[in-house]
Structure 1
Amino acid sequence: MTSTYLPPALGESVHEVFYPDVQTTVNLFAIHLRSVGSDWNYPAHEHPQYELNYVTEGVQHMTVNGQLYAQKAGELLLIPPGSIHSSQSQNGQGFTYFCMHFDIDDQLFLSLLARIKQVLFHSDSPVTLKIEPVLQKLMNSANENTASNTMVQRMQLQSAVFELFGHLWEAVSHEAAHLFTEGYERIELAHQIRNRLQGLVSQQFKQGHESDTHYGIDDIAAELGISSSHCNRVFKQVFGQSPRVVLSEMVLHEAKVLLGNPKLSVQSIAAMLGYRDIAHFSRQFKRWSGMSPSRYRQEQPAVQ
């Protein structure tokens, strides 16, 4: 476990800009490029991840939740988790496709994807046009010699996948803006609220200021020109949790990182997170995690 960022003492900074924290986990499964024959028939199945399926040659007949799609070369399928789907070749012709399964813990991204009910994206779709170059990069990596460069290829693969997600986010955002204008505006507003919550953790708490009874959410709403009730309602519609709960999760994450550093006392950690009273911090931490800060520290490996 690594030590969290510790800001300079107040008055030392001439200028600084805080960027949003990146705490996204992406899991990739069964990435493959496959050519199949005229008798290809993959039975109906489902999985808990998204599937991205791109045909490079021929035509794939994919049935998703009872709907048949004739997916031509250059077309993309984005199959949601839990969808029952099967794949067949037709008319005595094989085809070639690239496939990857993924899950991601970015709730904003998942919320946006869930709003897109479209499964098949044609070759001239903005979504396909945006991510096709990255898909080509991923497919080309399979042709490279991996015997002596396994780690290099792994890093290149991860880099390309995050690039793909960036383009997918941009393309799907525009798609959502056309199809669900009001809903997309709520998503963007919720994202702004979440970024400000991250800033609250990074700046207010770490500078040793104890939060007020509203945890700064009233101030965030005022900055965005909305009421506190609207702030809470929009945020919960998108993320399924209130801003206060998400803020508590952010503070808990910071507390766990700090507790992983044996050079910091529990009392100093409590002060860094804005608690003037170590007992209050201990009660809050136990309520969030089910154990005291001291017990949590004992169960974690020490930072070298």
Structure 2
Amino acid sequence: MAAARITAGSTPDDHIDETRFPDVKTTLNLFGIHRRTVGGDWSYPLHEHPQYEINYLLKGRQSMMVNGIAYEQQAGDLLLLRPGDVHASRSGDGEPFEYFCMHFDVDDRLFLSLLGRMEQVLFPASSAMTLKIMPVLHKMLEFASEADSRSVAFRMRLQSAVFELFGQLWDAISDETLQPAQSYGKVELAHEIASRLRSTASQTFSQEGTNEHRTGLREIAGGLGISVSYCNRVFSEVYGMPPRAYWSELLLHESKQLLADARYSIQAIAAILGYKDIAHFSRQFKRWTGLSPSDYRKGIERRDG
């Protein structure tokens, strides 16, 4: 939306000159941003998550399996993964490699709808997409040398760079000839369902156990004027996972955030997340991660200590 210019006499206030900009209200969530060098025998097992992922290879070769299809990534190549894409990675030639990775979730519906219509996963270093966003990616990589990465100033600069990245992504994708993966209406509907699931999760977390494992999917479907079965089907088509699996991802993310905060006991965390007791929470967390909540917390303490 272009800024609107208002000249003298065009408003009741009779401004001499005024330029108005559009209102902006956007929530951005960034997860697991890291730059990593790994050995030739390193691998990451099959997994999925409810966020988009950008994986940019800096050095070496990486072999990425995405939804059963193998992609061979060379230095400078970019991978863009959608929510629900099942993927695994390893060295492409048995030698060390270096990559930059970020996961993101943003509530701009038009931007998400554009991303959701993409089918392409691998963008070579010479592609218009990669050339468009590469300068911003390198700007983000320069932040790694900053002394205090936890400062407010650092977080603001990082968010600024990410929004610049989104702007370049929008331009690049709009210019590409991309085959739609789903209809625009279905993508919009799925993102609205995801937004309402996140809202319900936030309310559940704040009520300390009053809505144990209640996704509110029936209420969400009713509010949107659709059946629960259609709600499940559309969401699964776009996100590659049913709403309940997405809900579990939200619970897991919140669990990890709370376990990283030493102020909360594991019993208190179980109550906040809506589990009837600590044993129930511990079993579920171990099913998700392979670790008990206490072992996961000890791992954080060793890493940060």
Aligned to 1:134: 136
| Cα distance between partner residues in 1 of 2:118 and 2:14 | 44
1:89 aligns with 2:88: no
Structure 1 residues 99 and 237, CA gap change in structure 2 (3 angstroms):
closer
Aligned to 1:59: 61
Identity rate, percent: 54
> Which protein is bigger by CA-based radius of gyration?
1
The higher-RCO structure (CA 8 Å, 6+ apart) is: 1
Indicate if the aligned counterparts of 1:108 and 1:238 stay in contact, CA closer than 8 A. Answer: no
Q: What one-letter code is carried by the residue in structure 1 that aligns with 2:151?
A: T
| Cα distance between partner residues in 2 of 1:29 and 1:179 | 27
Structure 1 residues 239 and 155, CA gap change in structure 2 (3 angstroms):
same
Q: CA deviation at 1:11?
A: 1.5
Q: What one-letter code is carried by the residue in structure 1 that aligns with 2:75?
A: A
| Cα distance between partner residues in 2 of 1:13 and 1:40 | 67
Give the 5 Å matches for 1:178-257.
178-179=177-178, 239-240=188-189
Q: CA deviation at 1:159?
A: 1.1
Please list the CA deviations of residues 56-87 of structure 1 after superposition, one character each: whole Å capped at 9, or x if unmatched: 00001000000001101000000000010001
| Cα distance between partner residues in 1 of 2:28 and 2:59 | 29
Aligned to 1:159: 160
Indicate if the aligned counterparts of 2:125 and 2:131 stay in contact, CA closer than 8 A. Answer: yes
| Cα distance between partner residues in 2 of 1:170 and 1:13 | 37
2:147 partner SS: coil
2:50 partner SS: coil
TM-score, scaled to structure 2: 0.54
Q: CA deviation at 1:90?
A: 3.5
| Cα distance between partner residues in 1 of 2:92 and 2:102 | 23
1:20 partner SS: coil
Q: CA deviation at 1:154?
A: 1.5
Q: What one-letter code is carried by the residue in structure 2 that aligns with 1:117?
A: E
| Cα distance between partner residues in 1 of 2:187 and 2:66 | 26
TM-score, scaled to structure 1: 0.55
Structure 1 residues 16 and 90, CA gap change in structure 2 (3 angstroms):
closer
Give the 5 Å matches for 1:66-145.
66-145=68-147
Q: What one-letter code is carried by the residue in structure 2 that aligns with 1:179?
A: L
Aligned to 2:253: none
Q: How many residues align?
A: 180
| Cα distance between partner residues in 2 of 1:90 and 1:104 | 31
Indicate if the aligned counterparts of 2:63 and 2:91 stay in contact, CA closer than 8 A. Answer: yes
2:35 partner SS: strand
Indicate if the aligned counterparts of 2:57 and 2:98 stay in contact, CA closer than 8 A. Answer: yes
Q: Which runs of 5+ in 1 are unaligned?
A: 1-9, 188-235, 246-286, 288-304
Q: What one-letter code is carried by the residue in structure 1 that aligns with 2:178?
A: L
Structure 1 residues 13 and 240, CA gap change in structure 2 (3 angstroms):
farther
Indicate if the aligned counterparts of 2:72 and 2:92 stay in contact, CA closer than 8 A. Answer: no
Please list the CA deviations of residues 167-187 of structure 1 after superposition, one character each: whole Å capped at 9, or x if unmatched: 111111111xx335xx8xx98
Q: What one-letter code is carried by the residue in structure 1 that aligns with 2:166?
A: F
Aligned to 1:215: none
Q: What one-letter code is carried by the residue in structure 2 that aligns with 1:95?
A: F
Root-mean-square deviation (CA, aligned residues, Å) is: 2.7
Q: What one-letter code is carried by the residue in structure 2 that aligns with 1:158?
A: Q
Give the 5 Å matches for 1:274-289.
none
